[in-house]
Amino acid sequence: MLSLFGAQEDPSRLMQRVEGFKEESEMKKKNNKFQKQAWKNSGEARFEQMVGEYQRAKAELDAMEKDTPEHAAQQKLCDTLFSNAERFFKQHQ
């Protein structure tokens, strides 16, 4: 078989090189799969934490009197927590 440089190359040696590339490719795929799975697990935990923070802040907000400065500050905090959780969820779907 002709190689790129015009010299003949043994077909069995060529097959060994191709198989070596396949093995490397498979190893990279497996490694990538494990990284994605680990990221998914840590991302889910982070999202659950964000939702918990929002729910606690929302419970405090519901207990407060409306039209007070504290209520406005808590409302702003709740809005910020919600938007952060929403943004995180959209980025990691």
**SS3 readout for the chain:** CECCCCCECCHHHHHHHHHHHHHHHHHHHHHHHHHHHHHHHHHHHHHHHHHHHHHHHHHHHHHCCCCCHHHHHHHHHHHHHHHHHHHHHHHCC
Domain boundaries, the chain: 11-91
pLDDT in tens, 7-51: 566 666 666 666 666 666 666 667 677 766 766 677 888 999 999
The pLDDT of residue 3 is above 60? no
Q: Please give the Cα distance from 52 to 30 (Å, whole number).
A: 33
